[in-house]
């Protein structure tokens, strides 16, 4: 299925992306190829196939959550440009009149 230039430009507009002529040509080819693959998938009988969240079985690969030694406040603040006591000092990002 080949997308027209107008369809590619519409996708760009909906995505809030300004496309050059070269990008319209390139993305048109790529999007058309993707839609071609989707058409091939539609030919398959999937009535007895359960939906999957992932193609392979996944298992929790995280380590157990066990307490371990951490940095002291002095170590954590060692590379900070500014500190105030045991805290990082950062520039103000909100005006006085702004309520967050």
Please give the tally of structural domains in the chain: 1
- CATH code of the domain containing 22: 1.10.20
Per-residue pLDDT of the chain (100 residues; tens, 9 = 90+): 789 999 999 999 999 999 999 999 999 999 999 999 999 989 999 899 888 888 888 887 788 889 999 999 999 999 899 999 999 999 888 876 665 5
Does the residue 32 lie in any domain? yes
Does the residue 70 lie in any domain? no
Does the residue 93 lie in any domain? no
**Within 13 A of 74's CA, how many CA atoms are on the CB side?**
0
Does the residue 69 lie in any domain? no
């Amino acid at each position: 299925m080949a997308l027209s230039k107008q369809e590619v430009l519409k996708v760009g507009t909906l995505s809030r992306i300004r496309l050059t002529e070269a990008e319209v040509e390139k993305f048109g080819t790529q999007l058309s190829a993707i839609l071609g693959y989707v058409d091939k998938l539609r030919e398959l009988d999937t009535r007895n196939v359960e939906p999957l969240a992932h193609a392979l079985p996944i298992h929790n690969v995280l380590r157990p959550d066990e307490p371990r030694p951490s940095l002291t406040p002095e170590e954590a603040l060692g590379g900070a440009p500014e500190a105030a006591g045991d805290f990082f000092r950062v520039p103000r990002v909100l005006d006085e009149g702004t309520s967050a």
